[in-house]
Amino acid sequence: MMYMKTILAFILVAVTVFISSCERSVSFNLEQVPPRLVVEGTIENGQPPIIYLSRSMNYFSQVNISDLANSFVHNADVYISNGSVTHHLKEYTVPLGNGYSFYYYSTDSSNLATAFVGQLNKQYSLRIVSEAKEYTAITTIPNITNIRSYANINFS
């Protein structure tokens, strides 16, 4: 009986200490920096390239739908090359309702002579010209790796 009271008292003290642990307020003094171009792009096997361009926002700023809608970058010149052909991507608009739209760059359907889709083991280069600045990137679609057996794989 005394043993149970000791354990109960210990648990009560531990819970009290845990619940009443101290808190410390931490504040960050982050500098306001001008927005930067944010590039998110995909090119997958058998699919056309898709590029989303937006401007960065401050980390702790309040974000609303208007801010997000205004963060898209328009009228950029976006080019993608597979090493043989370079294609100028076109900006597309997807209406979301309530006067808001989503924007992306992809294959220009009016100029299919230079259009292409992604292929395995092929390297692609991206060039973006926006607001008098140029950005470049290179990527490769890796070959598919087949896993022949799951027997020896430890997922823990």
Residue 16 lies in a domain: no
Whether 27 is covered by a domain: the verdict is: no
Q: Specify the pTM.
A: 0.74
- pLDDT tens for each residue of 20-70: 666 677 777 777 888 999 999 999 999 999 999 999 988 777 888 888 888
Residue 67's domain comprises 37-140
Count of C-beta atoms within a 10 Å radius of residue 109: 10
Residue 120, domain member (yes or no): yes
| 125-146 pLDDT per residue, tens | 999 999 999 999 999 999 988 7
The tens digit of pLDDT for each residue in 84-125 reads 999 999 999 999 888 899 999 999 999 999 999 999 999 999
- Please give the tally of structural domains in the chain: 1
Best CA proximity match to 90, nearest among 101, 113, 74, 71: 74
The torsion of the CA quartet 35, 37, 40, 41, rounded to 10 degrees, works out to 170
| Vertex 105: Cα angle to 102 and 107 (nearest 5) | 130
CATH number of the domain residue 86 falls in: 2.60.40
Please report whether residue 32 resides in a domain.
no
Residue where the block lists tokens 């808001």: 100
